[in-house]
Structure 1
Amino acid sequence: MKNTFYEIKIITDFSAAHHLRDFRGKCENLHGHNWKIEIVLRGTELNEIGVLVDFGEVKQATRALLSEVDHHYLNEIPFFADRNPSSENIARYLFERLAEKFDNDKLRLYRVSAWESDDACATFMRE
């Protein structure tokens, strides 16, 4: 089968404060969100026990990364010094950091979505 793959997803969350510089709206004021984060990985081959990657490994790496932003003021994190801590950039930040761990010859981080509310999210992904 051509162009087939396996995909796994975990969902987690974190809470943090931020403000959007030069937004010209209420989000320019200091406020917070309880972000829901979706992490999606893809690969074409399962390992010797029949899994793409252990969910526990993905959850542990994600929890470690989220501990750096959970209950923090996102504008003070160096990644956001020259970019707004928007949901788009939060998804990108998490993607770039997790890709360091999960991109290899059998597994690729495919997509990270950051939900700032029940009906609004932004996604950073690889083609």
Structure 2
Amino acid sequence: MFEISVKTHFSGAHFLADYPGVCANLHGHNWEVEVFLRGRKVDSVGMLVDFRQAKTVIHETVDSLDHKELNRLAMFAHQNPSSENLARYLFRALSKRLNSRRVKVHRVWVSESPGTSATYWEKA
């Protein structure tokens, strides 16, 4: 089994509705994202996936969140844009675009501040 990862980042604001503390107020983060892809075989060049192609798709998806108020986006209309929910959203959005017979998004890691993170994956 092979696993590769692509790291990226974006800046975005959010608030956590019904949270009993200061995070209920609008505030921003410099979010970090790492996407892990897995597969059993490399291609004839020796790559699981072309990093350039994976980065293009990942950056397009993450860039749609950049400098946005996350609570106003459709995917968070009925849930808080917590780190956990953001990791799940990115996992599912990227799986639709990157999964193939050879390669699957394995997990997505999201950090809103140094030392804290959330990871989302689904059973195969």
TM-score range, shorter chain: over 0.9
Structure 1 runs (4+) deviating above 6 angstroms are: none
Write the deviation string for residues 10-56 of structure 1: whole angstroms up to 9, x where unpaired. Answer: 11100000000001111000000000100000000101111000111
SS in 1 for 2:68: coil
Could you tell me the TM-score, scaled by structure 2's length? 0.96
Q: Determine the structure 2 residue equivalent to 1:22.
A: 18
Could you tell me the TM-score, scaled by structure 1's length? 0.94
Alpha-carbon distance between aligned partners in 1 of 2:8 and 2:62, rounded to the nearest angstrom: 9
SS in 2 for 1:95: helix
Query: 1:105 offset after TM fit, Å?
Result: 1.2
Alpha-carbon distance between aligned partners in 2 of 1:126 and 1:56, rounded to the nearest angstrom: 25
Alpha-carbon distance between aligned partners in 1 of 2:118 and 2:68, rounded to the nearest angstrom: 20
Q: Give aligned-pair identity as a percent.
A: 42
SS in 2 for 1:20: coil
Alpha-carbon distance between aligned partners in 1 of 2:77 and 2:117, rounded to the nearest angstrom: 22
Alpha-carbon distance between aligned partners in 2 of 1:68 and 1:102, rounded to the nearest angstrom: 17
In the alignment, structure 2 segments of 5+ residues that lack a partner are none
Assess if the C-alpha contact under 8 Å between 2:90 and 2:108 holds in 1: yes
Query: 1:104 offset after TM fit, Å?
Result: 1.6
Alpha-carbon distance between aligned partners in 1 of 2:69 and 2:80, rounded to the nearest angstrom: 12
In the alignment, structure 1 segments of 5+ residues that lack a partner are none
Q: Determine the structure 2 residue equivalent to 1:105.
A: 101
Alpha-carbon distance between aligned partners in 1 of 2:58 and 2:103, rounded to the nearest angstrom: 16
Alpha-carbon distance between aligned partners in 1 of 2:41 and 2:52, rounded to the nearest angstrom: 18
Assess if the C-alpha contact under 8 Å between 2:57 and 2:98 holds in 1: no
